[in-house]
């Protein structure tokens, strides 16, 4: 009996919350009328609010694209009645105004304050979208405005915003988009190991994501971009080749599959070059056995380049037999 009462209570609370959210999201044109200086009609929550007209004006200014004016309306309204039933909505639209104005750092500060004030807000999902916009734009190098003037880049802050949004709800509606944007950030900054990990998390954690295919490709590309040159360790090349081959198996058609084929051929050529150089190093030292290991690796790389052919010639010089390419 007690469990049945609990279930009933939860259902009633959920319905009440839905009704309250529906009341609070009503805007001009939805059947609820307002006039500047007057109170909204058609909803109990509006009748209880002294901010009905202010909120209506803010919405109207939003629709007209007058973001600075709308922001000033929200500031004065919150000063007037910070605990009003509509204060939550007023604070949310204030954040939206700031984002549109390019006041991204201020918008982020307001977003953090909002979550502290309303930890269970029905606006949480909408706020996450605004936070994504803030983080993405900052991470992309957009300079945050101060008094309307773009002054300073905050790329690191942008990454922090995106990371916090993802950690707060790692399987939320926009989590895959956030994870992809984090990978983009690291790639743009030349941090290819971190980019590879970020794209790997996207591929593994969000198998149905619209971003997965592109993330899959960039996971392999990020590995390729870690290669420093033929004189250095060639494991990034091998990892990238394997990554592009895996991509082709999973996504065998389309432009990206054709591009993956091109990248495999290019990377095999680079791998043949790298292995040939190592073989030359040991040949010049007189270590023919070690040289053969790398010459054979150059041939086995399947790279259709001059280096694979030269490695085959070196093998013939040492063993008397030239391997077929």
Q: What pLDDT was estimated at residue 231? A: 83
Domains and CATH numbers, the chain: 24-101 (no CATH), 102-169 (no CATH), 227-325 (1.25.40.10)
Tens of pLDDT along 59-110? Answer: 999 999 999 999 999 999 999 999 998 999 999 999 999 999 999 999 999 9
Q: Quick one: average pLDDT of 26-30? A: 39
Identify the band that residue 295 occupies on the pLDDT scale cut at 50, 70 and 90.
Answer: confident
Q: What pLDDT was estimated at residue 24? A: 43
Q: What pLDDT was estimated at residue 302? A: 67
Tokens standing for 199?
């794209």
Q: What pLDDT was estimated at residue 16? A: 37
Q: What pLDDT was estimated at residue 48? A: 62
Q: 310: closest CA among 275, 266, 259, 267?
A: 275
Residue 26 has pLDDT above 80, yes or no: no
DSSP-derived 3-state class of residue 43:
coil
Residue 5 has pLDDT above 80, yes or no: no
Residue 9 has pLDDT above 70, yes or no: no
Residue 30 has pLDDT above 50, yes or no: no
Q: What pLDDT was estimated at residue 313? A: 87
What distance in Å separates the CA atoms of residue 47 and residue 40, rounded to the nearest whole number? 6
pTM of structure = 0.79
Contact 223, 242 (CB under 8 A): no
Identify the band that residue 246 occupies on the pLDDT scale cut at 50, 70 and 90.
Answer: very high
221 to 77, 96, 200, 229, 241: CA distances (angstroms) = 51, 36, 12, 15, 9
What distance in Å separates the CA atoms of residue 323 and residue 22, rounded to the nearest whole number? 75
Q: Terminal CA-to-CA distance of the chain, rounded, Å?
A: 79
Q: What pLDDT was estimated at residue 69? A: 96
Tens of pLDDT along 134-180? Answer: 999 999 999 877 666 766 688 999 999 999 999 999 999 999 999 99
Residue 117 has pLDDT above 80, yes or no: yes
């Amino acid at each position: 009996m007690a469990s049945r009462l609990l279930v009933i209570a939860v259902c009633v609370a959920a319905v009440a919350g839905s009704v309250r959210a529906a009341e609070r999201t009503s805007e001009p044109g939805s059947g609820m009328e307002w006039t500047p200086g007057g109170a909204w009609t058609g909803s109990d929550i509006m009748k209880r609010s002294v901010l009905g007209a202010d909120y209506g004006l803010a919405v109207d200014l939003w629709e007209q694209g007058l973001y600075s004016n709308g922001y000033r309306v929200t500031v004065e309204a919150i000063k007037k009645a910070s605990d009003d039933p509509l204060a939550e909505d007023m604070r949310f639209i204030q954040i939206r105004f700031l984002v549109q104005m390019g006041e991204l750092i201020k918008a982020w500060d307001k977003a953090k304050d909002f979550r502290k004030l309303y930890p269970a807000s029905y606006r949480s999902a909408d706020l996450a979208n605004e936070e994504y916009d803030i983080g993405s734009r900052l991470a992309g190098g957009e300079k945050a405005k101060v008094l309307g003037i773009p002054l300073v880049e905050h790329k690191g802050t942008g990454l922090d915003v995106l990371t916090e949004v993802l950690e707060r709800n790692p399987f939320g509606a926009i989590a895959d988009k956030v994870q992809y944007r984090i990978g983009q950030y690291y790639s743009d900054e030349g941090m290819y190991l971190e980019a590879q990990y970020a794209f790997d998390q996207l591929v593994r954690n969000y198998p149905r994501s619209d971003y997965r295919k592109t993330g899959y490709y960039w996971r392999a590309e990020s590995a390729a971009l870690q290669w420093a040159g033929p004189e250095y360790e060639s494991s990034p090349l091998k990892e990238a080749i394997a990554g592009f081959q895996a991509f082709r198996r999973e996504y065998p058609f389309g432009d990206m599959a054709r591009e993956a084929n091109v990248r495999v051929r290019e990377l095999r050529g680079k791998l043949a070059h790298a292995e040939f150089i190592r073989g030359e190093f040991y040949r010049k030292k007189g270590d023919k056995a070690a040289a053969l290991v790398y010459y054979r690796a150059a041939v086995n790389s399947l790279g259709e380049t001059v280096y694979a052919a030269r490695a085959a010639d070196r093998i013939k010089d040492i063993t008397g037999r030239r391997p077929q390419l």
